[in-house]
Amino acid sequence: MIPTPYLLFLGDAPDPLAAKVAQGIRDWRPDHAIAQFRLPNCGADMKLPDMTLQEAWDAGARTLVIGVANRGGVISPLWKEVLLEALTVGFDIASGLHNLLRDDPALVAAAKAHGRTLHDVRVPSVKYPIASGARRTGKRCLAVGTDCSVGKMYTALALDKAMAEAGMKATFRATGQTGILITGDGVPLDAVIADFMSGSIEWLTPDNDPDHWDLIEGQGSLHHLSFSGVSMALIHGGQPDALILCHEPTRPHMRGLPGRPLPSLRTMADTALMVARDANPECRIVGISVNTAAMDEPAALAYLAEVEAEFGLPAVDPFRQGAARLAEALAAV
């Protein structure tokens, strides 16, 4: 668990896209994000107060979160100076970078000297069990996609927000680095050892109130040749009561697999239900979330209407329309 609230480190991000982790925290956990720290020439701005390390500490921030991707896989000397100083002030540091904080001897030494923790969310910090397959109390919803990066995390976070607004009990359960940095905990599933994948998702979504929903962040796709095993473990470990199908209708082929088209929504629905019902015979698909960013408004609305008619289920783009209709669909389960 990463101590909150955060000071968001934007470094020398060349543009807003490079700071998308910070943006995710700002958008979805505004209470966690009390200030930003930028180096000269930073091209990103979260519209948060710019604070020094000491100012942010005095304002209550307890973890410096690296909210920016670094170039070339190296922590630059410019960054390093800030990180070392942050440990001195008293901050923990959290990072989803490929090159780990714990592999930097100077950071390790400084963290030890000041009694602080380096949170490398890219690697698991827990020894997960082998999945037991036991049923748990409470309800679970999983976002399943026709491809990687079609909006599964966004959908689950939008649903989390909509359910909170509707007074429903729900918890977003992060399974990827960005989601973990946004919420402060979760399972970095793509880095878990094969035998423990399903068990890690059982661990992440334990017994809960009967009317509580875990909103599990999906990963990959059951039809994606590189990552389908991860998607399979999510669905068998999560034992979802409800699935939300996520899709991006304009993509020419699956991410990283030229020549391999995405499955249709119908194929995806059939596959996901067949697999999910091994774990939970009551599982059903409750809605469809479409990423229509590449379409203009009339085309997007026409497409959503078409999908909704075909499946008889709410089909929405949560970015354009919010996720209230998906929350209603879960309330009806």
In the list 81, 165, 211, 278, the residue contacting its own copies (rule: CB under 8 A) is 278
Tell me the residue type at 209: D
Total of chain residues touching its own copies, rule CB under 8 A:
38
CB of 263 to its own copies, least distance (A): 8
The encoded tokens of residue 121 equal 């969310």
Q: By CB under 8 A, which span of 4-12, 139-147, 228-236, 305-313 interacts with its own copies?
A: 228-236
Told to check if 302 binds its own copies by CB under 8 A, we report: no
The encoded tokens of residue 272 equal 């996901």
Nearest Cα to Cα of residue 221 among 257, 185, 252: 257
CB of 48 to its own copies, least distance (A): 33
Nearer to its own copies, 134 or 332 (CB): 134
CB of 106 to its own copies, least distance (A): 26
The encoded tokens of residue 176 equal 């990827």
DSSP 63-128: EEEE-SPPSTT---HHHHHHHHHHHHHT-EEEE--SS-GGG-HHHHHHHHHHT--EEETTS--S-P
User: Scanning residues 120 to 139, which ones bind its own copies (CB under 8 A)?
Assistant: 130-133
User: Scanning residues 240 to 259, which ones bind its own copies (CB under 8 A)?
Assistant: 254, 256-257
The answer to whether the beta carbons of residues 247 and 265 sit under 8 Å apart is yes
Tell me the residue type at 61: A
CB of 145 to its own copies, least distance (A): 14
Half-sphere exposure of 318 (CA within 13 A, CB side): 27
Straight-line distance from the first to the last Cα atom of the chain, in angstroms, rounded to the nearest whole number:
31
In the list 94, 223, 288, 324, the residue contacting its own copies (rule: CB under 8 A) is 223
Q: In what helix (H) or strand (E) does residue 25 lie, and over which residues does it extend?
A: helix 20-28
Told to check if 100 binds its own copies by CB under 8 A, we report: no
In the list 197, 288, 300, 307, the residue contacting its own copies (rule: CB under 8 A) is 197
In the list 39, 232, 301, 331, the residue contacting its own copies (rule: CB under 8 A) is 232
Q: What is the DSSP letter of 129?
A: P
CA–CA gap between residue 331 and residue 170 (Å, rounded): 11
Told to check if 216 binds its own copies by CB under 8 A, we report: no
Q: By CB under 8 A, which span of 26-34, 55-63, 234-242, 316-324 interacts with its own copies?
A: 234-242
207 burial class (0-12, 13-18, 19+ CB within 10 angstroms)?
A: exposed
In the list 189, 307, 327, 329, the residue contacting its own copies (rule: CB under 8 A) is 189
Told to check if 273 binds its own copies by CB under 8 A, we report: no
Nearer to its own copies, 142 or 324 (CB): 142
Q: Which residues bind its own copies (CB under 8 A)?
A: 130-133, 189-195, 197-199, 222-223, 225-233, 236-237, 239, 254, 256-257, 260, 263, 271, 274-275, 278-279
